[in-house]
Chain A
């Protein structure tokens, strides 16, 4: 079956531009996560949705980052006024489990954002 998909796969933005990254989770998956992965590092948690509710956004690095999942399926991560330090791969993951019982997550291929 279809896995998690993300678009675009690559994005180049000039510093100061706004970007929107899309995640299509596996159909029916309750939980959705966003992560930021810098080169040579592990993924860093950004935010967590359970259905349409954003239950944890403690990992968002600044108020320039905003995520939404209005209908509990597709999610968008928006970065306003991009900075060079925002350059990274942004990973989305989904899980059929809820809350703190989440174990296995299914990851998308990521969006590689380069800010010039």
Chain B
């Protein structure tokens, strides 16, 4: 019943490389968020992009949103081993936050 679908499901890269994760969603949502989850810090909010924005940056994170294609991408530049985690896109619909199934990122040192 999850709305978002992340692609790829799993990604393994070397430290220093960039990581790109994509998210597609089925129905209209109010804004889109990305979260990170690892065993050490649990689920943490990374960045929000509003429906009327096309691109947003925060540190090493870059998020794009294409509402016509109902898709978003998260780019992590100059990845570090500490970026190893699962990344989820999430959309707000009414009171609900709908999460995708996530991309599992593994950054090798």
Q: Which residues of A are at the interface with B, using a C-beta cutoff of 8 A?
A: 33, 35, 40-45, 48, 55-56, 58-59, 91, 93, 99-100, 102-110
Contact = CB atoms under 8 A, between A and B. Distances in A.
Interface residues of B, number: 23
Contacts, number: 57
Contact of A103 (B1, B42, B48): B48
> Could you tell me the dominant secondary structure of chain B's interface residues?
strand
Given A56-B94, A99-B95, A42 B31 contact: no
Contact of B42 (A42, A100, A102, A107): A107
Contacts of A108: 42
Contacts of B43: 43, 91, 93, 107
B48 A41 contact: no
5 contacts: A42-B88, A42-B99, A42-B100, A104-B45, A108-B42
Interface in B54-109: 88, 90, 92, 94-102
B99 A100 contact: no
